[in-house]
Structure 1
Amino acid sequence: MHSVLIIEDEILARIGLHQLINWEKHEFSLLPDAADGEAALDLIRRHRPDILLLDLNIPKIDGLQILRHLKEEGMGCKVIVISCNEEFDMVKEAMKLGAYDYLRKLNLSSDELLGILKKCRQELRAGSDRDEKLSSFAFHEIRYDEIMNPNGKDLFLNVGTYRTAMCILPPAGETAKKWSEEHSAYTAAEVSKKWFGERSVEYMQVIRGPQICCFLFERRFSGAFFLQLHQELTNRLHGSVYFGIHETVMGNADAVNRAIILAEQVSVIRYYDVAQTVHYFPEKIALREHSPRGTQQMLAGLRESVETFSGKDSGDMIRQILSAIRTDPYTHINVLRRIFMDMLGIYSMTAQKLNGTIEEVRVRDDNCHYQKLMMMNSLNLIERWFLEFQDIFYSRFFVAYKCSRSDLLKSIFSYIDRHLTTQVHLSEAAGEIGVSNAYLSTVFKKEMGVNFIEYVNQKKVDLAKQMLDEGKLVYEVSDVLGFENCTYFSKVFKKYEGISPDGYKRKE
């Protein structure tokens, strides 16, 4: 049977597709439906369906984005687009991205659907036959934990004595591309398998989690062989692929295990973002078990700059710490992780002093910061993440920091928060606080870098975005926030966001 995934947000349309044909009779198995793009990617990741029935206009991640994911990952499933008549331009773009065919959603017949499904099945079977021919050479697969298990599979069955161990690490990726990251190792394995098959190269693939591909060969290869494979993988995975290679005669399981460990040292090389990507490891890398010189002084400088909310100075200290790590290779990754935990701890303690926590800071919609740093596999990514984190941190706690240093500012912000849904005037705020208009205006501009009304309007716009995200209409938001009319509200909103409230709502 060939598996089929229906990706459609309208429940009646999903029910109609279920009932349109007898799926089991025609040897198709339906996976659980996906009502939005995020659920679709999760199901694709877990089940690897043969065929997708894809509605282009779905929430969260649209159909075109899903097609781009499939293309980037080299997924071999057939995608049948479900289209309305007015979506012709989107359908054309979908076909460019590799969609197999499309169905008109209105008046779809069972014969039309079944005809396209059978064509897909025929081509999938033809492709499977080609893959079997390619893999007719000796190809074996084993889990890493079976290498040292005496009751496990025989590593040397039909293969011979191994002489080369190779570890492939796909490009380091961001969490925003989690689906791509988790499957890039599998993609690397599939691309390699086809490449080896075309050259009749026998190998053993060792399964080592979702991020690492290991291969064992019974002979050694020239440098050109690995460079050609490296180029093929780089083209397919769109980033820097790293190879770790260890060459020796592996006469038993212990020797195989040691060879794989040596080849996997390429993870240290990638962590340091070294430009050279193909590495031979005759022995273990000598890893330093202590922090780079001057780390404690730099951490003290970072603490001082964070506690005084000096963004430029703290940014410079982050760059200095990462620069010191790069110029003193190779330190054990666990030592480096402790340094990054200490850096994050400085922000955490500062937030606590302001009666907050760093979990209030969301970087790319994620607030699991300690776990994030532990999982990052590139110093470049870590540096960029820290700089992004600190900008959001300062934005989140800036008002609390200013209030902690000035009772006057604390009173001003309290007044603004209490009157944010009315028309806020500087003169009324000054009168309630007990200072002159000029004094309040001068102090506010000096401390905040913007004038009083600009700050109030930005706060109103931020609250307006939350309300629009919750589904409120533009005129409702305008009324709640105390604007004179919708026209003035739209003018203020566009000044700060570069888009009208209606445009922002449509974008969401």
Structure 2
Amino acid sequence: MDPDPKEDRLSGAFRRQKGLEMKNKVLIIEDEILARVGLHQLLDWKGLGFTLLEDAKDGQEAIRSIEENHPDILLLDLNIPKKNGLQILEYLRENNLDCKVIVISCNEEFEMVKEAMKLGAYDYLRKLNLSSEELQQILQKCRAEKHQSFRVREIRYEEIISHTGKDIFQDVGTYRTLLCILPHIDKQEGIFAVTEHCRRWLQKRGQEYLQIHKGAQCCYFVFDSRLPKAFYEELYRALAQRFPIKLYLGIYEGVMKEESDMNQAVALAEQINMVSYYDEEQRIHYFTEKIPAKEHSPKGMPHMQAALKQAAAEFAREETGNAISNIFSSIRQEKYISMNVLRRIFMDMLGVFSMTAQGLNGAIEEIQVRGDNCHYQCLLMISSLSEIEKWFQEFTDAFHERFLIEYKCSRSEILRSAFHYIDTHLKTQIHQSEAAKEIGVSSAYLSTVFKKEMGQNFIEYVNLRKVELAKEMLEEGLLVYEVSEILGFENCTYFSKVFKKYTEMSPDTYRKSSIVNDK
């Protein structure tokens, strides 16, 4: 028997209403447990088509829930700990978050209520004697206004690949476009802000979409029609203006009728990751098929890595930098190489430095680059060849600074003795002639060896070491004259002169700036 068209239409309307109700997520932000319980009991939330999220008991919990759950409506108490209600409203406005805020206030909070309305609150209700009819009326009004102009759907990527998200096709039938937005940002909070700004941009244009949640690197939006190139260019400009970061748009256009189609579309569109890895200047890319990525290293890679190994082992800073530049230049000439192959190359490069450090009884974990010493993990997290190259150059500088003396000492008994003398006499007046006498060489010979191997004379190196130690003492709060005496300077004036030569500021200024920064 053929299905009744009327019954099918009613069924479709029911499904659409059900999908709409699932979007009516309400977050109660209230620190008093009795008030939270009262709000829960005041209405039949599920029967009215609202989904109550887990309550937030303070401002920090509220922001975390907003970021993770994207509520549609907030019931907000203004006097909450950690971040108050006004700060929550400011956060929503700064991040262009589209949710209705109903303030629940006490009589004595009227001035705060006025400020809340200025910050964008939708309406307010008095906490005392709040009736179910009053709350229900404002919630339904809020819901009607929020959904009257556009339709939004959301789904987790896991639901697509596990075939549990079939309802996304029931209202639309066929999707035609998938957009993957890749911003170069370090923190998950950043991708959340980009996603919300994009949602708001689409909402203002009345554009219906399906949003796919997949990890914390890209935003995914699916549309039921093909969109003109100008649409993406306008979106890109809007995002670039709001977020001064490098970002890319990957677009797949094709028929998507079921989960397998959607899964394939996601895989194609997110190839924008590889394009961005190569730092392409063109930021908007259309993908119709899989990029034929090469599964082998660039030609001559073993030779280039051998050159890096030799330069690093000899602590030849310029040659090391050139070897790194040559490797990255060859990578860029043979695009696109599989990102897994590239990462193996970078791991091998880092291994060269690790072996050199081990030969000096050290480890690269003793070095910090950009505030981190987990170097292998850091390399895997960076998604740009140019940034990885910069990272290697910074790492090389830090590596030389940390291990150069150990390397020089391993090649010269005189230098090893000289550094030992300096380390043990750093808090006294150090004279080159006395150091040479204790080492057993002439002062002139020590000067010649030191200048040749270290690129600076003996006293310059001593003063630089004293200044580094002086900075630590000043940061700890010692007075300038105290540091001068401890380090064996002739007087405070000479100490200040030496300190300023290497830091371009007086020790007193450095001390005051350190105290301010600590506060």
Q: Counterparts of 2:143 and 2:495 in 1: how far apart (Å)?
A: 62
Q: Counterparts of 2:326 and 2:357 in 1: how far apart (Å)?
A: 23
Deviation per residue, 1:263-308 (Å, 9 max, x gap): 0001000000011111111110001000011111100000011111
* Mapped pair 1:409 → 2:437: no
Q: Counterparts of 1:248 and 1:493 in 2: how far apart (Å)?
A: 66
Q: Could you tell me which residue of structure 1 aligns to residue 305 of structure 2?
A: 299
Superposition pairs of residues 16-165 of structure 1, within 5 angstroms:
30-31=58-59, 74-76=94-96, 115-116=111-112, 118-120=114-116, 123-126=119-122, 133=146, 136-152=149-165, 154-165=167-178
Q: Figure out how many residues of one structure are paired with residues of the other and give that number.
A: 434
Q: Could you tell me which residue of structure 1 aligns to residue 496 of structure 2?
A: 490
Q: Counterparts of 1:111 and 1:474 in 2: how far apart (Å)?
A: 57
Q: Counterparts of 1:492 and 1:197 in 2: how far apart (Å)?
A: 62
Deviation per residue, 1:89-142 (Å, 9 max, x gap): xxxxxxxxxxxxxxxxxxxxx999973465125533239969964784110111
Deviation per residue, 1:370-426 (Å, 9 max, x gap): 100001000010011111110111111111110011000000000000111111111
Q: Could you tell me which residue of structure 1 aligns to residue 11 of structure 2?
A: none
Q: Counterparts of 2:252 and 2:154 in 1: how far apart (Å)?
A: 19
Q: Could you tell me which residue of structure 1 aligns to residue 441 of structure 2?
A: 435
Deviation per residue, 1:298-357 (Å, 9 max, x gap): 000000111111111111111111011111000110100000000011111111111111
Q: Could you tell me which residue of structure 2 aligns to residue 261 of structure 1?
A: 267
Please state how far the C-alpha of 1:439 moved relative to its aligned partner. 1.1
Superposition pairs of residues 149-228 of structure 1, within 5 angstroms:
149-152=162-165, 154-170=167-183, 172-173=184-185, 178=186, 181-228=187-234
Q: Counterparts of 2:216 and 2:409 in 1: how far apart (Å)?
A: 47
Please state how far the C-alpha of 1:252 moved relative to its aligned partner. 0.7
Could you tell which deviates more after superposition, 337-346 or 208-217?
Answer: 208-217
Structure 1 residues not aligned, in runs of 5+: 6-21, 34-40, 56-65, 78-109
Q: Could you tell me which residue of structure 2 aligns to residue 393 of structure 1?
A: 399
Letter of the structure 1 residue corresponding to residue 122 of structure 2:
A
TM-score by length of 2: 0.75
Please state how far the C-alpha of 1:44 moved relative to its aligned partner. 11
Please state how far the C-alpha of 1:242 moved relative to its aligned partner. 0.7
Q: Counterparts of 1:487 and 1:364 in 2: how far apart (Å)?
A: 35
Contact map agreement 2:59 2:80 (CA 8 A) in 1:
no
Q: Counterparts of 2:280 and 2:79 in 1: how far apart (Å)?
A: 40
Q: Could you tell me which residue of structure 2 aligns to residue 462 of structure 1?
A: 468
Change in 2 beyond 3 A, CA 1:114/1:387: farther
Deviation per residue, 1:455-491 (Å, 9 max, x gap): 0010111112222333434333323222233333222
Q: Counterparts of 2:438 and 2:81 in 1: how far apart (Å)?
A: 59
Superposition pairs of residues 230-379 of structure 1, within 5 angstroms:
230-379=236-385
Q: Could you tell me which residue of structure 2 aligns to residue 446 of structure 1?
A: 452
Identity %: 48
Please state how far the C-alpha of 1:28 moved relative to its aligned partner. 10
Please state how far the C-alpha of 1:253 moved relative to its aligned partner. 0.4
Q: Could you tell me which residue of structure 2 aligns to residue 418 of structure 1?
A: 424
Please state how far the C-alpha of 1:32 moved relative to its aligned partner. 6.1
Q: Which SS does the other structure have where 1:124 is aligned?
A: coil
Q: Counterparts of 1:52 and 1:380 in 2: how far apart (Å)?
A: 48
Letter of the structure 2 residue corresponding to residue 150 of structure 1:
H
Q: Could you tell me which residue of structure 1 aligns to residue 134 of structure 2?
A: none
Contact map agreement 2:166 2:258 (CA 8 A) in 1:
no
Letter of the structure 2 residue corresponding to residue 125 of structure 1:
A
Letter of the structure 1 residue corresponding to residue 156 of structure 2:
R
Please state how far the C-alpha of 1:155 moved relative to its aligned partner. 2.2
Please state how far the C-alpha of 1:195 moved relative to its aligned partner. 1.6
Q: CA RMSD in A?
A: 3.7
Contact map agreement 1:139 1:202 (CA 8 A) in 2:
yes
Letter of the structure 1 residue corresponding to residue 115 of structure 2:
K
Larger radius of gyration: 2
Change in 2 beyond 3 A, CA 1:354/1:130: farther
Q: Which SS does the other structure have where 1:125 is aligned?
A: coil
Q: Which SS does the other structure have where 1:160 is aligned?
A: coil
Deviation per residue, 1:123-174 (Å, 9 max, x gap): 332399699647841101111111122345622243331111110001x24x
Change in 2 beyond 3 A, CA 1:485/1:136: farther
Please state how far the C-alpha of 1:227 moved relative to its aligned partner. 1.0
Could you tell which deviates more after superposition, 123-132 or 208-217?
Answer: 123-132
Please state how far the C-alpha of 1:204 moved relative to its aligned partner. 0.5
Q: Counterparts of 1:166 and 1:367 in 2: how far apart (Å)?
A: 36
Contact map agreement 1:23 1:30 (CA 8 A) in 2:
no
Deviation per residue, 1:49-85 (Å, 9 max, x gap): 9999999xxxxxxxxxx9xx989x95259xxxxxxxx
Please state how far the C-alpha of 1:2 moved relative to its aligned partner. 7.9
Change in 2 beyond 3 A, CA 1:204/1:305: same
Q: Could you tell me which residue of structure 2 aligns to residue 63 of structure 1?
A: none
Change in 2 beyond 3 A, CA 1:131/1:507: farther
Change in 2 beyond 3 A, CA 1:47/1:308: farther
Q: Counterparts of 1:132 and 1:329 in 2: how far apart (Å)?
A: 50
Q: Counterparts of 1:52 and 1:234 in 2: how far apart (Å)?
A: 36
Change in 2 beyond 3 A, CA 1:444/1:207: same
Please state how far the C-alpha of 1:362 moved relative to its aligned partner. 1.0
Q: Counterparts of 1:404 and 1:493 in 2: how far apart (Å)?
A: 30
Q: Counterparts of 1:3 and 1:469 in 2: how far apart (Å)?
A: 43
Change in 2 beyond 3 A, CA 1:498/1:248: same
Q: Counterparts of 1:44 and 1:468 in 2: how far apart (Å)?
A: 44
